[in-house]
Amino acid sequence: MSGLVITRRRLLGMFGATGAAAALSACGSSLGGGGESSSGGEQGGAVKIGLVVPQAGVYAPVGLDLQRGWDLWLEQHDGKIGGFTATTVVGDEGETPQTGVAAVQRLLQSDNCDVLVGVVSSATALGVRDLVTESKKLLLVANAGAEDITGKAASPYIWRTSFTNGQVSGVMGRYLAEQGTKDGVFVLAPDYAAGAEATAGFQTAYEAAGGAIAGSAKPPFGKTQDYQPFLSQIQSSGAKATFCFFAGAEAVAFVKQYRQFGLADTIPLYGSGFLTEGGVLTAQGAAALGVQTSLHYTSELDNEHNKDFVAAYKKKYDAVPTVYSVQTWDAAGVLDRALKSAKATDGDALSKALDGVGSIDDSPRGEWSFEGQTPKQKFYVREVKQAGEGFVNAVIAETEPVGQDS
Amino acid sequence: MGAWFDANLVSVLNGVAIGCLLFILAIGLSLVFGMMDVLNLAHGATFLVGAYTGWVVGGTDPTWATFLLALAVALGIGLLVGAGMSLLTEPLRRRSHLDQALLTLGVALIVAELLSIAFGNDVQAVDAPPGLDGTVTLLGSAYPTYRLVLIVVGAVFAVVLWALMSRTMIGTVIRATVADRDMVSAIGIDNRKVKLAVFAAGSALAAVAGVLGGPIYGARPGLDSTVLILALVVVVIGGLGSVRGALVGALVIGQIESLGRAVLADAASFLLFGALAVVLVLRPQGLFAGAAR
Amino acid sequence: MTRVVRTGMPVVAWLALAAAPVFLAPYATTTLARMLVFGLLAASLALLVGVTGLPSLGHAAYFGAGAYAAGWFAKNVSTTAPLSLLIAAATGGVVAAATGWVAVRARGVFFLVLTLAIGEIVLQVAEVWESMTGGSNGLYGIPATTIGGEPVVHPAYLYWFVLAVFAVGFAVLWLVVRSPYGTALRGIHDNEPRMRAIGYPTALYKYTVFVIAGTVAGLAGGLFAVQQRLVTPADVGFTTAALALLAVIIGGAGSLWGACAGAGLVILVRDSLGPTLDGHGPLVLGVVFVLVVYLMPRGVAGIRLRRAS
């Protein structure tokens, strides 16, 4: 490397120049305006929507489904939403709230979006609450499941079209108690906020209906690849059934190992729907057969709107839609109604319009409505069954509409 | 005591199985660092390359033919990756060891991103080859056959490695280089060739471990950092450059991850790094330091 | 000419930083503020890595501890401007003092892995201690800091506040590096046994620099809490620590301003370039990293060039 003329100073200079070029496009002035929201949406019937989804990293598959649901709705409605022409700007939520908050800031401050849709991580959703509220822009959360988002930390500008963690598992709690597994359910969820909420939701509902827990465990979140110690614990507890909450890679590992260790034949496995939803089910394959879960959607739903939705989705993407696709599809539908009614794009008008939006009757998931700014919806108990070459979540039971506090 | 042991014996056995896999994974890292003072932070990425190889070649339901083929392909790719890493770090030979470690970190980032671009972000699962994907009844509960096979593979490998290190010329050269690198080059053995060979072999082992670990870990983005941290902990606890140390370290970590989590459930998240911190405080050079440092 | 450039460049740089909000759009100003926060973290790490030769992969632990402390203080006690920052710096220093005595007994790779372990343990504490840290959802809803009773929310005013605190933190580091103490640290980096032989208590020096770096990292953490108003376990662990180390190496291990520039580049790639690359920002970072490690000028000459900063 002798005789090399490039020094670090010059390298930094080159990067600095590139950065400056990027910065030039960021020119303007931060002074004046008092940090208020820009007056968007008044350019004659156009609305700019910021889609906040993870584009890379462990949550990228969820982000992809979210984006697909959104894009499909717009395509089916000629790119118009609520009478306005829609422009979608995608912001990468990334893997941590650091990038999530930055993405939301960029969409609000730099791209001047009127409405925000998306957000997978609950920490990010909670973290941008003040930012969104101070900017007076509407945020439609299309995935994040923490109760506080529409509970303790609720804001008139934050509405949700997805679920709360406790809501989903509470359904399974009631179902199991009614099915006769009155005593001896072992509860398992990773040691983080969503896991704790899911466990609490299940336990409250299950015990209220007369059930008794046989034991519980909390595998370290993100740090467990081998579930043998917990599987042994389930066996030695004498449990008659297992209820668990896992998503993503942990769901794949757990369900596979549950079968590998022979528990699948003797201690039936139940779970919150994310255990077998989407790409996770493809990876689990036959190991997931017979697993029953509760969720507010499955691609097998037998209603008009879902049949059309699934057909269109398959045609465009050559893939089966998941609950995530439906959540943004419905977000678009809801925003459509709100814009039609408010005829404006600012947060106050839209929030007021959402209050009066009533029942959503054309959703693939069935009829639902807002309660406390989050969906009150029907839930389905699904069982994994073989369908041709692959596997699906077939519906075996349906519930009455359930809100977030049940 | 007996009852407690019965209940947790399966966890102990599982710990041995995981430990064997970790041993195969970590030995390459330990030897490269012990011999060359190069901390190969791309070791986890190499494991992931092997894991994806296992998935691509073997598929989700491998037959014996495809499984063995996957092992062979991973071995080859690992050798190439290792040789490449050795050549990449060659120009930095006279610079600080931190620089070389950081270079490998950069390579690890690049490899992980390329894998994500090539294979997507979905979690991929791999099954064990036919015949090994069943269960064996142990002490009243079922235990996957494949993990028992891992124990056998690990034991055989440990014996072979021991024989290599203590009975052959190559092994003597390796042990001598760990003990005193300069003296070895002073007696005429070319350090660069030795480094190339060990780097290649170490990376090949990491890739093979990726295929072997497929039925347990699968292949997905992020697995490389998880595995790298496990390997680092094994190697640091066991002592760098020592085969015995890597084996003991791997078995200890295997037990911590299995028996430790079964018995100390509440402290489960703190166990791994707590143990590492304790060992480093009491014996900063690891349990079996290989070199005279 | 070089003399003029040498003294002139820092002045111009500070003036440009001060004038930035006048010429930049609000989001760019916010991004620049974020770069300053990380810059301070990276500079404190540069003190450890470049000046003293202690490569730490767990420095974010003190950053995160300070951030949580400042956030908790702002939520529960008071939002008056300098208070939460003082608490943050103190917390960073205390945690560094508690873990430092263990850390400086190790050297090289062992120090690297031990600091990684410390960082991960502190992260676990953050996840588990829900009443103080909010667990994995993080500490959200941190109120804006107030100066004279007025909350600082406008991007430009917030930026100037961040710049002011950054200047204070940077000045502390700069003074340490310029002092005889700093020279002794460089001596320890170059040849610790020799320093010990001529009578320096090297262990004590290493411990004190660890605590100083931890305190400034804590201050940076407090600033982070003020700027982002959300603290999560991700800010405490390996991801953030690795970013800081990347920034330090890219900028030049012995250089404080270099570390800041490196941090700016890392944030720029992650937040601005990342989205356009479909989220594959780390690929660019990895390539930059490899290039930088290869092209760094040989040996001591590179370090000597930085001593004046």
The per-residue pLDDT for range B21-40, each reduced to its tens digit, is 999 999 999 988 888 778 89
| ipTM rounded to 2 decimals | 0.91
Residue where the block lists tokens 């200079």: A13
Touching subunits for chain C (3+ Cβ pairs under 8 A): A, B
- The closest CB to that of A153, out of C136, C140, C154, belongs to C140
Give domain status of residue A189, yes or no. yes
The listed range with the strongest mean pLDDT (A151-165, C9-23, C96-110, C136-150) is: A151-165
pLDDT above 50: residue A3: no
Beta-carbon contacts of residue C53 (< 8 Å; ≥ 6 apart): C188, C189
Residue A268: inside a domain: yes
Q: Count structural domains, chain A.
A: 2
**What are the φ/ψ torsions at residue C80 (nearest 5 degrees)?**
-60, 135
Same domain, A187 and A266: yes
Same domain, A270 and A345: no
Q: In this structure, is residue B289 part of a structural domain?
A: no
Give the residue on B whose Cα is nearest the Cα of C284.
Answer: B110
Domain ranges, residue B259: 2-282
For C72, the token pair is: 């908790």
pLDDT, residue B133, reads 83
Q: What pLDDT, on a 0 to 100 scale, did the predictor assign at position A19? A: 53
- Range with the lowest mean pLDDT among A312-321, A383-392, B140-149? B140-149
Interface test with A, best of C5, C123, C140, C278 (most A CBs within 10 A): C140
Question: In terms of Cα–Cα distance, which of B92, B96, B102 is closest to C53?
Answer: B96
Is there a contact between C23 and A27 if contact means CB atoms under 8 Å apart?
yes
Query: Which band of pLDDT confidence, cut at 50, 70 and 90, is reported for residue A29?
Result: low
Say whether both A349 and A254 belong to one domain: no
**In chain A, residues 3-62 whose CB comes closer than 8 Å to chain B:** 56-58, 60-61
Mean pLDDT of chain A, nearest integer: 88
pLDDT above 70: residue A314: yes
Rounded to 5°, the CA angle A297-A299-A304 comes to 90
C282 touches chain B (CB under 8 A): yes
Residue B214 lies in a domain: yes
List chains touching B (3+ CB pairs under 8 A): A, C
**Is pLDDT at C59 greater than 70 in this prediction?**
yes
Query: Does residue B292 form part of some domain?
Result: no
HSE at residue C309, side-chain half, CA atoms within 13 A, is 27
Whether B131 maps to a domain, the answer reads yes
- Tokens representing A50? 């910021």
State the distance between the two ends of chain A, measured CA to CA, in whole angstroms. 68
Residue A35 lies in a domain: no
Pair A285, A346 in one domain: no
Q: Which residue of B has its CA nearest to A251?
A: B123
pLDDT tier, C299 (very low <50, low <70, confident <90, very high otherwise): very low
Residue whose entry in the numeric block shows the structure tokens 């950054």: C166
Tell whether A25 is covered by a domain: no
For chain B, what percent of residues have pLDDT higher than 70? Answer: 96
| CB spacing of B261 vs A260 below 8 angstroms | no
Nearest to C48 by CA among C100, C119, C88, C95: C100
Q: Taking a C-beta distance cutoff of 8 angstroms, is the pair B205, B27 a contact? A: yes
Q: Kindly state the average pLDDT of the residues C185-206.
A: 89
Separation CA A306–CA A298 (nearest Å): 9
For residue B293, being part of any structural domain is answered with: no
Residue A12's pLDDT is what?
Answer: 53
DSSP C88-155: HHHHHHHHHHHHHHHHTTS-HHHHHHHHHHHHHHHHHHHHH-HHHH-GGG-B--PPPPEETTEE--SH
Report yes or no: A198 and A168 within 8 Å, Cβ to Cβ.
yes
Rounded Cα distance between A99 and A360, Å, is 33
Specify the number of domains making up chain C.
1
Instruction: Calculate mean pLDDT across residues A341-363.
Output: 93
* Residues counted in chain C: 309
For residues B207 and A118, what is the distance between their CA atoms, to the nearest angstrom?
A: 38
- The first and second tokens of residue A26, run together, are 């960021």
Q: What tokens appear for B49 in the block?
A: 């390359």
pLDDT band at residue C305 under the 50/70/90 scheme: very low
Angstrom distance (rounded) from CA B7 to CA A32: 69
Which of the residue ranges A154-163, B206-215, C129-138 would you say has the lowest mean pLDDT?
A: C129-138
- Looking at residue B100, its pLDDT comes to 83
- Which of B220, B199, B219, B203 has the alpha carbon at shortest distance from B211? B219
Of B60, B121, B218, the CB nearest to A56: B121
Nearest one of B183, B173, B186, B199 to B292, comparing CA atoms: B183
Closest CA to A365 of A161, A65, A172: A161
pTM for the model: 0.91
* Mean pLDDT of the C67-95 span: 94
| DSSP per-residue string spanning C174-215 | HHHHHSHHHHHHHHHHH-HHHHHHTT--HHHHHHHHHHHHHH
Q: How is residue B264 annotated by DSSP?
A: S
Name the burial class of residue B145, with classes exposed (0-12), middle (13-18) and buried (19+) by CB atoms within 10 angstroms of its CB.
middle
What pLDDT is stored for residue A127 in this prediction? 93
**CA separation for the pair A300, A364 (Å, rounded):** 10
At which of A295, A319, A341 does a domain end? A295
The pLDDT value given to residue A27: 61
Residue A6: the pLDDT is: 44
Cα B289 to Cα A277, B154, B170, B177, C111, distances in angstroms: 48, 22, 20, 14, 15
What CATH number has the domain bearing residue C60?
Answer: 1.10.3470
Phi (first) and psi of residue A47, to 5 degrees: -135, 135
Among C122, C133, C126, CA closest to C96: C122
Count of alpha carbons within 13 Å of C94, Cβ hemisphere only?
Answer: 9
Does residue A253 carry a pLDDT above 80? yes
CATH number for the domain spanning A316: value is 3.40.50.2300
Instruction: Give me C127's structure tokens.
Output: 């996840």
Of C120, C124, C290, the CB nearest to B107: C290
Which of residues A270, A295, A320 is at a domain's end?
A: A295
Query: What's the total number of domains in chain B?
Result: 1
Does A283 contact B262 at a Cβ distance shorter than 8 Å? Answer: no
CB atoms within 10 A of CB B93: 12
Residue B2 is predicted with a pLDDT of 60
Q: What is the CATH number of the domain that holds B197?
A: 1.10.3470
Q: Determine the residue type at C289.
A: F
Residues whose CB falls within 8 Å of the CB of residue C188, separated by 6 or more in sequence, listed in order: C52, C53, C195, C200, C202, C205, C206
Nearest to B67 by CA among B75, C233, B6: B75
Residue A191 sits in the same domain as residue A227: yes
Chains in touch with A (≥3 Cβ pairs < 8 A): B, C
- Residue A30 with chain C: CB contacts under 8 Å: 21-22, 24-26, 28-29, 154-156, 159
Comparing CB atoms, the residue among B110, B233, B274 nearest residue C283 is: B110
Residue A23 reports pLDDT greater than 90? no
Residue C235 is part of which domain span? 2-308
Q: E-assigned strands of A201-305? A: 212-217, 241-244, 269-272, 292-295
* C244/C255 Cα distance (integer angstroms): 14
pLDDT digits (tens, 9 = 90+) for A192-203: 999 999 999 999
**CA–CA gap between residue C27 and residue C19 (Å, rounded):** 15
Closest chain A CA to residue B272: A223
- In C105-134, the residues whose Cβ lies within 8 Å of chain B are 105-110, 112-114, 116-118, 120-121, 124, 127-128
- Residue C234 at interface with chain A, using a CB cutoff of 8 Å: yes
Provide the pLDDT confidence category of residue B241 given band limits of 50, 70 and 90. confident
Q: Give the domain range for residue A122.
A: 41-163+303-376
Nearest-by-Cβ selection for B60 from A56, A58, A285: A285
**Residue that finishes a domain, picked among A279, A295, A311:** A295
Q: Does residue A64 or residue B166 have the better pLDDT? A: A64
Confidence (pLDDT) at B3:
61
Q: Which residues of C touch A96 (CB under 8 A)?
A: 232, 234-235, 239
Q: Which 3 state secondary structure label does DSSP give A337?
A: helix
Q: Which residue of A has its CA nearest to C26?
A: A30
Question: A10: buried, middle or exposed (CB in 10 Å: 19+, 13-18, 0-12)?
Answer: exposed
pLDDT in tens, C114-131: 899 999 999 999 998 988
